[in-house]
Amino acid sequence: MQLSIKQTQELQIVMSAQLRQAIELLQYSTQELEQYIREQELVNPLIELSEPTFKEHLQISKTCGRHYNNWHLSTKCEKNIRDELFQQVRLTFDNEKDIQLLKHIIYHLDDNGYYEQSIQSSYNDLEIEKGIHLLQTIGPLGIGARNLKECLLLQTIYGPNSPAHADTIISNYLEELAHNNWKKISKELDISLNDLQIIYLFIQSLQPKLSSLFYQELVHTTIPDIIVDIVDGGITFSLNDYYLPKVSIHADYFPYIKAHSSEKSYFKKHLADYHWLVNSIEQRRNTMINIMKALIEKQRKFFLDGLDAIQPLTLREIADQIDVHESTVSRITTNKYVQTAFGTFELKELFSSKLSTANGHSVSQIKVKSLLSDYIKSENKAKPFSDQKIAEYFNSALGIEISRRTIAKYREDMSIPSSARRKIIPFK
């Protein structure tokens, strides 16, 4: 065996921590950027922040043409419902075994209120079922169920106004009910179609998931990152970043840095970090401006007439126009909101894939979804349109080339049920 030493040359791309942070900075909303800048002041002694003056605020407001409108956005935050249930268990039950069983079930509730079986559980199925029924006496009905059917069944069994046969239908006929096989149910249970419709409406009123109990909606104010105005038929825009603090070198350190700039001092890294921060903020700002100019050019009809006038557009088209990578456009348009005369939209919404039309033009996906929603709203609920019928209508009447599968996909994207589930049987 002969050993030898060989020298090879290899090219590798190593991404520095600062480069990674600069890329991440592109995705920050203006509010997130403000928070990041203030955090940098805490870790870098050379950074000094100065707040914008009231005069600067007024100047920017005049440039914008009007004040921005705060946009209220609903988000969800977790409630501590498990602690509430634990407390109720202690107040209601005396048997220590029951208390431990209920604590086990409550601890293993998922975010929909369903019980998730623990792999190492010391309880068998009968004990878990007993605990779930005990839980109904202190918690919201349906809590602790192991599946959808059990959740609906618990609400029916323990509910005070459940119609007769509702529990039987949930246990044995949910699929038939969903697919409108009502005559079969009516015959086998010997109940009238009118009674069956009452049961159907009752089941629809039940909660399939109890996620609303674990989360509560909070309304907070989101400030748009960009404001678009229509002035004398022209479109203008401004970045809504007037409230960002100005970043500069701390006055106490500036003379020292200037005098010892050539030394490898303690301040050298902090000075480099300061320059990186200033340059990254400016680069992010310039990229946003360039992208907005391109978007206004491409989506002029949208800014003048609203969402229905949005044109098909891809990230690559904007990237090619301003000579940046497609990923840069994706990052800049993420988590950014633009205020228009027709509402506040996420920048991502201005990009829409296209479908071909019979006259050789194209129509945006958003427009097609809007047309689809309107068409379904106009249908006879006793005879709802199938996906195939809708596709045929779009192709023949609207000249939009679209398949049945695409119709089904768009319908599901908008949480519109299938024709079988939209059907309502009228009774006399």
pLDDT tens digits, 117-159:
876 678 888 999 999 999 999 888 999 999 999 999 999 999 8
Give the chain's mean pLDDT. Answer: 81
* Euclidean distance between CA atoms 386 and 25, whole angstroms: 46
State which of 348, 363, 381 marks the end of a domain. 348
The answer on 137 and 155 residing in a single domain is: yes
The answer on 89 and 130 residing in a single domain is: yes
What pLDDT does 288 receive?
94
Question: How does residue 15 score in pLDDT terms, banded at 50, 70 and 90?
Answer: very low
The answer on 138 and 199 residing in a single domain is: yes
Higher pLDDT pick, 57 / 305: 305
Residue 180 lies in a domain: yes
Residue 61 lies in a domain: no
The answer on 335 and 225 residing in a single domain is: yes
**Count: domains in the chain:** 3
* Euclidean distance between CA atoms 98 and 133, whole angstroms: 11
Tell me how many helices (H) and strands (E) the chain has: 21, 10
* Euclidean distance between CA atoms 268 and 272, whole angstroms: 6
Higher pLDDT pick, 309 / 294: 294
Question: How does residue 322 score in pLDDT terms, banded at 50, 70 and 90?
Answer: very high
Determine the average pLDDT of the residues in 341-353. 84
Residue 157 lies in a domain: yes
Residue 1 lies in a domain: no
The answer on 298 and 194 residing in a single domain is: no
Task: Answer whether residue 331 shows pLDDT above 80.
Answer: yes
Pairing of strands 226-231, 215-222: unpaired
The answer on 313 and 190 residing in a single domain is: no
Task: Answer whether residue 82 shows pLDDT above 50.
Answer: yes
The answer on 159 and 108 residing in a single domain is: yes
> Percentage of the chain surpassing pLDDT 70?
82
Determine the average pLDDT of the residues in 279-307. 92
What pLDDT does 400 receive?
85
State which of 159, 188, 212 marks the end of a domain. 212
What pLDDT does 214 receive?
61
Going edge to edge, which strands form the sheet with 234-239?
A: 234-239, 226-231, 337-340, 343-346
The answer on 232 and 203 residing in a single domain is: no
Tokens encoding 223: 């400030």
Three-class SS of residue 226? strand
Contact 305, 317 (CB under 8 A): no
What pLDDT does 73 receive?
44
Tokens encoding 98: 């029951």
Determine the average pLDDT of the residues in 27-50. 89
Determine the average pLDDT of the residues in 21-33. 84
Determine the average pLDDT of the residues in 359-381. 83
**CATH number of 390's domain:** 1.10.10.60
Task: Answer whether residue 306 shows pLDDT above 50.
Answer: yes
> Percentage of the chain surpassing pLDDT 90?
27
Task: Answer whether residue 40 shows pLDDT above 60.
Answer: yes
- Segments forming the whole domain that contains residue 138: 79-212
* Euclidean distance between CA atoms 88 and 82, whole angstroms: 10
The answer on 338 and 226 residing in a single domain is: yes
State which of 348, 380, 409 marks the end of a domain. 348
Determine the average pLDDT of the residues in 99-112. 87
What pLDDT does 365 receive?
78
The answer on 175 and 156 residing in a single domain is: yes
Question: How does residue 265 score in pLDDT terms, banded at 50, 70 and 90?
Answer: low
Three-class SS of residue 176? helix
Determine the average pLDDT of the residues in 261-287. 82
Mind listing the pLDDT tens digit for each residue in 391-410? 999 888 888 888 888 888 88
What pLDDT does 261 receive?
55
Question: How does residue 33 score in pLDDT terms, banded at 50, 70 and 90?
Answer: very high
For the ranges 6-10, 65-69, 369-373, which has the lowest average pLDDT? 65-69
Three-class SS of residue 167? helix
What pLDDT does 296 receive?
94
What pLDDT does 61 receive?
43
Residue 8 lies in a domain: no
What pLDDT does 425 receive?
65
Determine the average pLDDT of the residues in 241-246. 89
Question: How does residue 77 score in pLDDT terms, banded at 50, 70 and 90?
Answer: very low
The answer on 232 and 170 residing in a single domain is: no
Q: How many CB atoms lie within 10 A of CB 382?
A: 9
The answer on 187 and 230 residing in a single domain is: no
Task: Answer whether residue 188 shows pLDDT above 60.
Answer: yes
Residue 312 lies in a domain: yes
Residue 69 lies in a domain: no
